[in-house]
Amino acid sequence: MSALVDRIRGALVGLKMPRALEALDHTIQQLEKGEITAIEAIDELLSEEYATRETRRIDVALRTAKLLPVKTLEGFDFGFQPSLDRERISALAQLDFIRRSEVVHFLGPPGTGKSHLATALGVAAVKAGRSVYRATLAELIEALNKAEREGRLAEKIRFYTRASLLIVDEIGYLPITPGGANLFFQLVNARYEKGAMILTSNRGFAEWGEVFGDPVVATALLDRLLHHAVVIQIEGASYRLRRHADLIPEHVRANAPIAPPPPPKRRGRSHKTQNGDADH
């Protein structure tokens, strides 16, 4: 018996299964006492090892995707944002939009949960085995600018197109550097109908010409980003400032709606909004 156990230990070491090796003695004791069957013993060892590897995989993937700190849909306060359709968000968490290479837009004032929701969907995608990458628009454009100066722009765009889901956060928060709009367009064009995206913005689509400093490029961006899209408008107060609402001037508290423009006229699938789905 001991020789057999030693052989199993050696096999687990060779297969690089440290968690199963750690659980082996306890599992054998359960087996000898008749507490579990042989099949259950095998299942227990493999389950322990698989769970450990899956946890490690997710941890590495979340760091690589820049999704830390982790946000989840369970941790989102839907009661504070009644304008949000919880079922709509839960449907997005099924991740069909990734398979369809769609673009999800979260629009709303600062502090209304756009980044939380985008990150939470990214975390769900990582747990489902999808490759994800998250960056702010400013970070993306800075990286693309640097790559262009170094003659590596095509390589950098390929890097950003490899992920099944690209999350672009904080569109409209910081001014775009000269040439940045064109670089972002090249990235969007490379991912168009090939990879899903989630975008968050505190500015309405009608303001994107101002945001990107180039109405022509902004129109071209929207042409692609709204073709196969889910647009979710969040209207409400800042969650971060909820405890200090009495200190904020009334004109700042009043949130103007950020309404999407009419959909661009294109053949094929039209875009969807939170208030209704278009046929695909």
pLDDT (tens digit, 9 = 90+) per residue, 34-80? Answer: 999 999 999 999 999 999 999 999 999 999 999 999 999 999 988 88
pLDDT, tens digit, 9 for 90 and up, residues 131-179:
999 999 999 999 999 999 999 999 999 999 999 999 999 999 988 888 9
Calpha distance 143→205 (Å, rounded): 24
Q: Taking the CA atoms of the chain, what radius of gyration do you get in angstroms?
A: 24
Q: With contact defined as beta carbons under 8 Å apart, do 178 and 158 qualify?
A: no
Task: Determine the pLDDT at residue 237.
Answer: 59
Q: With contact defined as beta carbons under 8 Å apart, do 222 and 261 qualify?
A: yes
Tokens of 38: 């042989």
Task: Determine the pLDDT at residue 231.
Answer: 96
Calpha distance 112→234 (Å, rounded): 7
Give the H or E element holding residue 201: strand 196-201
Domains of the chain in start order, with CATH, are 2-64 (no CATH), 68-273 (3.40.50.300)
Calpha distance 166→132 (Å, rounded): 6
pLDDT > 60? residue 269: no
Query: Phi/psi of residue 198, each to 5°?
Result: -125, 130
Query: Which SS3 state, helix, strand or coil, does residue 132 take?
Result: strand
Calpha distance 65→260 (Å, rounded): 29
